Structure 1
Amino acid sequence: MIVEHNVPLQQHNSFGIVARAQHLVRIASEADVAALLADPAWGGASKFVLGGGSNIVLTGDVKPLVLKVEIKGRRVVEETPRAWLVEAGAGESWHDTVRWMLDEGYPGVENMALIPGTVGGAPVQNIGAYGVELQDRFDSLDAIDLHTGRAFTLDAAQCAFGYRDSVFKHAPSGANGFGLAGRALITRVRFRLPRPWKPVLGYLDLERKMAETGNFTPTPIEIFDWICAIRRAKLPDWRVLGNAGSFFKNPTVTPEQCADIIARDPKIVHYPMADGSIKLAAGWLIDACGWKGKTVGNAGVYEKQALVLVNRGGPAHPATGGEVMTLAKAIQTSVYERFGIRLEPEPVVV
């Protein structure tokens, strides 16, 4: 185990914000975690788990010991008539793993192509796109308790998945609280991919692709290619223009609240949910408040999609975490003042 000191993190967060880890350890296996926790100098230190850095905003140097998860490996655990069970290491690229599954003949996650980040970060955020969420394809995961060193396995119910939410985003509460924020390091994730495969094509963008191509029975790899093309047309590549993807969650309201907003703004984009609530498009709310293209310092709102905040300064003059959060808070205030809706950020602010 090697502890690195004063490590630049600009290349380890998709916003490209300049910050440093005072101390950093690269975790390539479960044995590395055991060695770290057994080390008298570092075992009891405060820790911060870092995957792909695609869903964080760094507002300064990171003082806790940074655990950079780099656990690799992909394999098929089991094949049954009803499902394929596939496992991947937490340090694997999410997008590359989606492509690998398709190349190996295991479809089911193609709608989540091109989402940045790592496999280990996917259940933390319960990532989702174009009608499919991670929880829809999740089987179980392995993790290590950073307080006790105990290895454990969680199924979907124990992960308490919600909209861009999971047990890993909540601190323990009360004597029996099960929140695992800051406590668990995910090592491996397993996916249950249903057989026979059925495409998920209910989103308008995918319906347009079918109409454009005349292909109404696309294969998994064709859906993968469509999703990649759609995302590239709408969203900036973080390697070119730093960003953390969708910055705010789409809020949900009651039908009565939605009707009140529609009476004032008939064009508001909204989607009925299975539970009777109405999901509003956060990007539309932000755009309606005039934020598209606006900036605070070197942090800005993307011209093509108001839901995405970007780093306009590039690697040489990057936005600071403070500028990003000042912009985010100004957007929250204006949306609340106009619509009475409180937008909740998706990224973790460090």
Structure 2
Amino acid sequence: MRIPNTFGFDVKAALYAEYDSVEELEKMIAEGRITSPFLHMGCGSNLLFVKDYDGIVLHSRIGGMEVTAEDDEQVCVRVGAGVIWDDFVAYCVERGWYGAENLSLIPGETGASAVQNIGAYGVEVKDLILSVETVNIRGEKRIYQKDECEYAYRKSLFKKPEMKSVFVTYVNFILGKKECYTLDYGTIRQELAKHPAVNLATLRQVIIDIRNSKLPDPKVLGNAGSFFMNPIVPRALFERLLHQYPSMPHYEVDADRVKIPAGWMIDQCGWKGKALGPAAVHDKQALVLVNLGGATGKDVVALSDAVRASVKEKFGVEIWPEVNFIE
């Protein structure tokens, strides 16, 4: 069966299986229906399939958003792994809950958000997570508290190879009920200035508008969103680069490290809008690699390798894919 993926590649799995509840997943495990090799995935928005998958692809359809605790300042919400991430963000904004709005319109599902530690515009999903509920291939349930999840920039415990057999079933979030915004990133304040007031609905719309202006719709032009992670470099290297490129954008991480936008470096290397066969760097956002039509995973890998080599040669900085390669 064809594997859903936002690059639009025509890739197939030996078997594609979905489940709607923890109980159904436990039954599949108990009956020995999940055999190796297997891949557990969301909606394929952060995956690059280099070839057909010779095994079982599993997909959670566990839904539901349930308030589990609440007081005057905060609310805790339990969300099924199969819930579309942006549906959850909209749910929070509609109820006046603060924290998720900067993550509006990020593609994918809630379970995958906790695995990838998605982030945008100064916010990461780890900032909102309380705990992650899982079932492993032996049918054993476990809840990982946030401090057990080893969250870092686009990293988590769940991305480690040895955690491949651990399936996220629910994610527990904590949101604020007091007015609080993260606005000092990119052009957020500039865009908000065009509106009469700042509120959750306005900020969500601004984030959506910014994303739509830069990122192509996967239904029109196959892509996986931001393809590369922004590199975090030692301060000494950053200062040398800043001397060479005084207008270089950057974000302070801590006293010893600075984050440099990978998209800016790719643009400086002349890649924005440039194609390599049927794969290309998007002409509005150099962080995004696109399928111009008929591209394969190997075409995108070749483009990725060429872009990374250019950045390394020009800046002496390694950039790494955020997208997960399935080979």
State TM-score, norm by structure 2: 0.96
Aligned runs of 1:299-318 on 2, under 5 Å? Answer: 299-313=279-293, 318=294
**Is residue 257 of structure 1 aligned with residue 248 of structure 2?**
no
1:295 Cα shift? 1.2
Question: Residue 8 of structure 2 aligns to a residue in which SS?
Answer: coil
Task: Select which of 295, 302, 305 maps to 1:329.
Answer: 305
Paired AA for residue 164 in structure 1: R
Alignment of 1:108-187 (within 5 A): 108-146=99-137, 148-172=138-162, 180=163, 182-187=164-169
Work out which of the residue numbers 170, 187, 195 in structure 2 matches 1:205. 187
Q: Tell me if structure 2 keeps the 8 A contact 1:50–1:68.
A: yes
Matched residues in 2 for 1:119 and 1:17: separation? Answer: 23
Instruction: Name 1:289's counterpart in structure 2.
Output: 269
Verify the 8 A CA contact 1:285 1:335 in the aligned structure 2: yes
Uncovered stretches (5+) of structure 1, i.e. residues with no partner: 1-6, 173-179
The Cα offsets for residues 235-255 of structure 1, whole Å up to 9 and x where unpaired, read as 111121111111110001122
Between the aligned partners of 1:204 and 1:45, the Cα distance in structure 2 is 44
Aligned length: 326
User: Offset of 1:126 from its aligned partner?
Assistant: 0.4
Q: Runs of 5+ in structure 2 lacking a partner? A: none
CA RMSD of aligned residues (A): 1.3
Q: Spell out, residue by residue over 1:239-295, the C-alpha distance to the aligned partner (whole angstroms, 9 max, x if none).
A: 211111111100011221011112222232212223431111100110111111111
Matched, 1:228 2:208: yes
Deviations 1:1-26 (A, max 9, x none): xxxxxx012xx111111100111111
Structure 1 residue ranges (4+ consecutive) displaced by more than 3 angstroms after TM superposition: none
1:73 to 60, 64, 67: 64
SS in 1 for 2:54: coil
* Alignment partners' CA distance in 2, 1:296 and 1:27: 39
Distance 1:82 1:213 in 2: 27
Task: Tell me which amino acid in the other structure corresponds to 1:342.
Answer: E
The amino acid of 1:166's aligned partner reads S
Q: How much does 1:214 deviate?
A: 4.8
Residue matched to 1:4: none
Of 152, 171, 175 in structure 2, the residue corresponding to residue 189 of structure 1 is 171
| Percent of residue pairs identical | 36
Q: State how far apart, in whole Å, the 2-side matches of 1:31 and 1:275 are.
A: 48
Name the counterpart of 2:36.
45
Which residue in the other structure is 1:3 paired with? Answer: none
Q: 2:20 aligns with which of 17, 20, 28?
A: 28
Retained in 2: the 8 A contact 1:108–1:197? no
Q: What is the CA–CA distance in structure 1 between the aligned matches of 2:254 and 2:236, rounded to whole Å?
A: 16
Deviations 1:138-182 (A, max 9, x none): 111211112x2101101111111100110111123xxxxxxx2x1
Deviations 1:310-339 (A, max 9, x none): 1111xxxx3100000000000111111111
